[in-house]
Structure 1
Amino acid sequence: MIRKAWMIGRAARSGLPLLALVTLSTAAAPDRFDGPVEGARRVGELRLDGELFHVQGLALERTRIWVTSVDEASRKAYLHAFDRRTGRFLRRLELTDGVRYHPGGISISGRSIWVPVAEYRPRSSAILIEVDADSLKVRRKIPVADHLGFVAASGNTLVAGNWDGRLLYIFDLARNAPPRTIPNPSATRHQDMKFAGGQLVAGGAITPWSGAVDWIDWPSMQVRRTLRAGAIGPIRPIGRGGPYTGEGMAIEGRDLYLVPEDGPSRMFHFRLDAGEDRPA
């Protein structure tokens, strides 16, 4: 979810043509990290064989890959399922809800897939949708008076982030109470977040050409580790790439999975160095 408006707005304010700004930025950025992911080695990649639009979120099961994408031209939100071994497309579910057509980063807890679907603008509205992972039936919808761009789920706890993840909404599904809000302790513009090993692991963008993966203690919300990430391919809006961590992210122990490209997409598999998946 690296915003097209981000680059366009900066170009307009500076008076530079967009292409010149992109070229200047990618060539001279002082904080640019040129490797894929710091402290990780690339194990492989899997091409996702099916129609995908602007990718937003990633979640993994033993046999399936779940990806959310937004069809900006048709204003539609989708949840896609792929075979984890072959990358073959299996099925998809449309989750558009009126003016809310932007799905975000997703999480699986038990047999539920949690997907935020929001208006495509900050400070707007969203719904958190619980989808049955077997039948793809919608179990419930939770309205929120803000744009939500991702959600991490663990049992009765949901942690969702608004536009660029500046504010986190904490839901306790066991209580009939409004969520509490806390500021995001990281400067990373998180796009996908997961509960993993008693921590929150979140990936996102820092600039259009760089990103990061953060490990945040739960529930103290202290950032324990950050790994930098570089860009893949031409950056948006000229190309379909961006930071490796700029869109879908999933983690299983020391195995990190990323889907940074719009369709046609690939899922990249990285192995973290020993110790990178736990606090220092």
Structure 2
Amino acid sequence: MKHSFPRFLLLTALTWHSTGFAQPSKQLEKEPQTTELFSKLSENSKWRKIAAIPLDFHTWHPQGLTKVGDVFFLTAVKVMRTPRRYEQPVNGFDRDTGEGEGLLFRFSAEGKLLDSLRLDHGSIYHPGGIDFDGKNIWVPVCEYRPFGNSIIYKVNPSTMQATAMDTLHDAIGAVAYNRQSSTLAGMNWGSRKFYRWQLREHRLQLENKEGTVNPHFYVDYQDCNYAGNGQMICSGLRAYQNSTGENIRLGGLEMIDMQSYTATMQWPVTEYSAKGTVMSQNPFYIESVNGKLQLFFIPDDNVSVMYIYRLE
């Protein structure tokens, strides 16, 4: 069923451009070291926690994480009224939108808040997983329900100026920018579908309006980072129930080819926070440092800690 999207929002989203946008140059393509190191992980590889940094600000419900130089950016949603489920579907939806605010925080490597930005528009207030393309941060914000409407923003990390680049009649929960092809990949609610946009001058152009079905099911991607070589590494989890009714949250990382959307490597996440939350609950960032994989996680709500690991 096609869901309504207010015309004023479409017009606004497509005209919020204060400056021009040049396509990322080829020198911004990431080195292939991260993908090479990730592909060499084996059953003998070990997690090593190297830091646990308390964040000095209220994080609400953290969603996506990226890094620009030595500075981190974190999206979060402040839910003021949880969506209520309908007794029967209404216009194709199983719940209402609830109420809330979308936030983008900028903070230091020591966990100190440097700046923040509101990113929401009416019922569209739930930001998701984010990625940095070498110049801008890409942020999806959606309604807090499956199949809800979304706005895709780019944010200048220096000025914290946000520009709405496109809208979609689906709830986009995470994005990753392919620096090799200047395309943006988006994952919907539960990462059951992939979407792809081409960057055309001052806006995004959606390639596949119906989306591409995700052939992988054991985890739902929450946050994805472009890792070089046309690959993204996604972090996520999925809840399973055993025979006694106990919920088990299984975490995992997957390296995905951004053309075919097939996993080229999968890796379980077996680490948990001090509160018992699996590390891949939501925000995630990965990089290579001195020939080692370094991973950042912020799994807990409200009073949060950024955990840093090495995989070796």
Same fold (TM over 0.5): yes
From the CA coordinates, give the structure whose radius of gyration is larger. Answer: 2
1:82 aligns with 2:107: yes
Match among 154, 172, 175 for residue 148 of structure 1: 172
Question: How many residue pairs are counted as aligned between the two chains?
Answer: 230
1:200 aligns with 2:207: no
Q: Please give the alpha-carbon distance, in whole angstroms, between the structure 2 residues aligned to 1:113 and 1:177.
A: 18
Q: What residue is the counterpart of 1:164 in the other structure?
A: 190
Match among 130, 135, 145 for residue 106 of structure 1: 130
Q: What residue is the counterpart of 1:131 in the other structure?
A: 155
Cα 1:39–1:197 shift into 2, 3 Å: farther
Question: What's the RMSD between the two structures over aligned residues?
Answer: 1.9
Match among 215, 226, 247 for residue 185 of structure 1: 215
Amino acid at match of 1:114: W
Deviations 1:107-143 (A, max 9, x none): 1112211111100000111000111111111233310
> Would the aligned equivalents of 2:195 and 2:206 in 1 still touch at CA under 8 Å?
no
Please identify runs of 4+ aligned residues in structure 1 that moved more than 4 A: none
Q: What residue is the counterpart of 2:86 in the other structure?
A: none
Cα 1:128–1:118 shift into 2, 3 Å: same
Percent of paired sites with the same residue: 29
> Would the aligned equivalents of 2:185 and 2:258 in 1 still touch at CA under 8 Å?
no
1:258 aligns with 2:297: yes
Greater CA deviation, 253-262 or 178-187?
A: 178-187
Match among 114, 118, 137 for residue 142 of structure 2: 118
Q: Please give the alpha-carbon distance, in whole angstroms, between the structure 2 residues aligned to 1:231 and 1:269.
A: 11
Structure 1 residue 105 displacement after superposition: 0.5
Question: Where in structure 2 are there 5+ consecutive unaligned residues?
Answer: 1-44, 81-98, 240-247
Q: What residue is the counterpart of 1:174 in the other structure?
A: 200
Structure 1 residue 224 displacement after superposition: 2.0
Structure 1 residue 233 displacement after superposition: 5.2
Question: Where in structure 1 are there 5+ consecutive unaligned residues?
Answer: 1-37, 235-239, 274-280
Cα 1:149–1:119 shift into 2, 3 Å: same
TM-score with structure 1 setting the length: 0.77
TM alignment of 1:33-52, pairs within 5 A: 39-52=46-59
Match among 49, 59, 63 for residue 66 of structure 2: 59
1:232 aligns with 2:262: no
TM-score with structure 2 setting the length: 0.69
> Would the aligned equivalents of 1:58 and 1:105 in 2 still touch at CA under 8 Å?
yes
Deviations 1:238-272 (A, max 9, x none): xx763211200111121111111112111111112
Q: What residue is the counterpart of 2:307 in the other structure?
A: 268
